Chains A and B, each alone.
Chain A
Amino acid sequence: MIGRLLLFAWIAGWIVAAFVWAPLVPVLAETTRVLYFHIPAAWVTVLALGWSMVHSILYLKRRKLEHDDHAAGAAEIGILFCIAATASGSLWAKAMWGSYWNWDPRETSIFFLLLIYAAYLAVRSAIDQEERRARLSAIYSTVAFVAVPFLVFVVPRIYFSLHPDPLINTRGKVDMDPRIRVVFFALLIGFTALFYWMLSLRVRVARVERRGLAAPGGAT
């Protein structure tokens, strides 16, 4: 309860700070602030999908359904944050590039990522038996994660992209305003904590559901 309130206050406070305290980057102007939402969302996407892969491997090693709950929950949250990153990126693209969607390499690869993990949910929904669903979707999740580094890190660096990490990295890493950096990392921490909280809720719900099903007469 306290943790939840603290998390809320932390994220809300830093969002306010993003508006009133942190300065704007010259070229990006008002759209600078998407940075505080878009990049943490993309970071949580990769983190959540990696978490899903780690727990998939753990499931295959130890065969505890707990790990399957983590893998499934993290993949779902990863998809959610991936949609958030895609949508915020698309809005930003409208403001800076003049169109919501133009198949820039970044847009292409994040869209592929969404489809790959949507297929993970499709696999899960097609298997009734619990152990088998856990095992097969763990295999799929681990294979799917192979695509993540390619899509997130390799492809956008091979092909010419208008995505502004050159703007922020080469010029910015050196002289990015310290206030921007503070707000950015604070929100990165906030988003990570948000992911952890959502995941723990999701895992608890799954545990309760399973107990309800296992108890005699408890199945509803």
Chain B
Amino acid sequence: MPTSRSSSGAAVWAVLRKECLSEWRTRYGLNAALLFAVTSLAAVSFAVGRLGDRSDVLSGLLWIVLLFASLASLAHAFVREVEGKTLTLLRLVAPPTAIALGKLLFNLLFLISIEVVTVPLFLVLMGAPPPRWISFLALLALGSIALAIAATVVGAIISQTRGRGALFAGTAFPLLLPVVAAAVSGTRAQWSGAPVDAELRLLAAYAVALLAVSLLLYDHLWEE
């Protein structure tokens, strides 16, 4: 291993930069995910119309759109390595945990760039009442972090199985359900003026626990 433990921060940064660069060269992952998110948003908006007075339904729909967009795209960071047969080379230059962390940060950036487009569009198209921005953004941020952490570890496992794409959605979805449930009820509370700190704490705790456990396990991800 050319990269020692002391420079693993640099390795994480290098993996992140490499991910961004190779995404930016083709942009097909981002384009596909954005197209997916906007299309499903359009389908939802078309199907139910403006729901300005039903913030309970709105919060559910918002997170379903975000969840689907992330399920459609977040496996891609690991699957791309396997399909491009570049994983072996990548493993030569960085330890597994650094690769996984780099990809986790990339997935988070990816999710944020989807949200930057989708969330404002959602609020406008659905005629949502103005959210309480601080709680709303905190929920979005913590929800995205938890989504990215769970999706990264599942994506890493799934990339080594048969039928990767199909399996990812089915396998990551259950682990993401607690995140989505907490985020939905927090978003609903935020619109109805109730406190959201129970949900924020739940999301943060789940994210931290998942991250801690998955960091301990990434070393076992690749053997052969």
Contact = CB atoms under 8 A, between A and B. Distances in A.
A138 B154 CA distance: 12
Interface residues of B, number: 32
Given A60-B220, A127-B162, A158-B198, A150 B170 contact: no
Interface string A124-156: 001110011001101110111011001100110
B217 A60 contact: yes
Nearest to A105: B181
A142 B213 contact: yes
Interface stretch (A30-38, A86-94, A113-121, A211-219): A113-121
Interface band, chain A: 20 to 34
Interface string B195-215: 000100010011001100110
B157 interface: yes
Interface string B14-42: 00000000000000000000000000000
Contacts of B150: 143
Nearest to B160: A136
A143 B170 contact: no
B161 interface: yes
Nearest to A126: B161
Contacts of B174: 112, 115-116, 118-119
B178 interface: yes
Contact of A155 (B158, B173, B178, B220): B178
A143 B175 contact: yes
A131 B223 CA distance: 10
Nearest to A132: B160
A135 B160 CA distance: 11
Contacts of A150: 178, 202, 205-206, 209
Interface of A: 60, 108-109, 112, 115-116, 118-119, 122-123, 126-128, 131-132, 135-136, 138-140, 142-144, 146-147, 150-151, 154-155, 158-159
12 contacts: A115-B177, A116-B177, A119-B171, A127-B161, A132-B223, A139-B153, A139-B157, A140-B171, A143-B210, A143-B214, A146-B213, A150-B205
